[in-house]
Structure 1
């Protein structure tokens, strides 16, 4: 069983500085007023945020989306102890070695099979004609609210650069015909961030939309860190892993 660390991220005193005026850095922006580097976490996923705070234990000033300020769980696998399992691994390695030698001997003793050659002119011509024609199909899907997973009715869906579009029904579902691969669909809804999705062979597209939220910036407070201790029997079990 893995050992788990749980920690909560929060910003108790949000900063009022404008991040757009900061000098760009490799991880975010430099605030001349505070003389600090502000890490931009808004473009990171949960795994990237976990890795950052796993590798950085000092003070951090960052910019977050409100939903990113929460409790995280980080699992770390304990070092393996070699016991009886090492012996089994050795036998498996020897078995694979002998099997590989046998297969090589058989391949060397068997004469090569003659290869028949055929003209690929017709095949290449058929393939070129197939790829030259754009693929269009009907697309169906559903748009939901990322926060509560509820359907969003009335979402506007437009093929980017055109006036062709559709609107989701009361169940958040939509249907669009004659959509070619490579086109970009724009999903727009009042109070939500617009999403663009490129069509690439899909017949079903499900979209999650999140509300526009004010981003928070300031010194990050990391608290509630603890490590769950393994029981006696868990320690005995690990000794043989």
Structure 2
């Protein structure tokens, strides 16, 4: 059996947090005469430890929407994945730079011959890779679509994908997942390799929610034999 900790806010508070009197852990609400804990900058480990110690007390809290979820009781940290996450951001910047460079090239009337050559090049590039969330962990179920088409795929349980069709230089892939900002990557195969491997980091769309925190333990039952 595996325990999870589910954090949610059933009734968001309409009070203005900016008007609260600052406290060590957040702010004091004069309306309900309670301290509102600011969880927005806390890591999952800190949130779990807080509710383990305060399990018998009512808590008012301020969260990012991405934090309202089920947490593993013993979250694992993976330095290697964090390193990969940083590398993924670097790769994204690399592709974005090349995308801008490609657009500038198209506006240059002196390169019309090379543009015509690019348009008629063969689709011979295989694309595969891994999609990670803001913590550097795999993001299963991410949609990857070829721009202006219905051709696409999804990442597997380990956040890995292989695009179903071969692409050509200049094709655009759009990565999307509910609650995350979409990512657009232009294929630019500088090494002329038949396969392009990439790691893509997704950033959560951030919204702040405040209110009385509902915390419960979630149990996964054993399968019936």
TM-score by length of 1: 0.41
Larger radius of gyration: 1
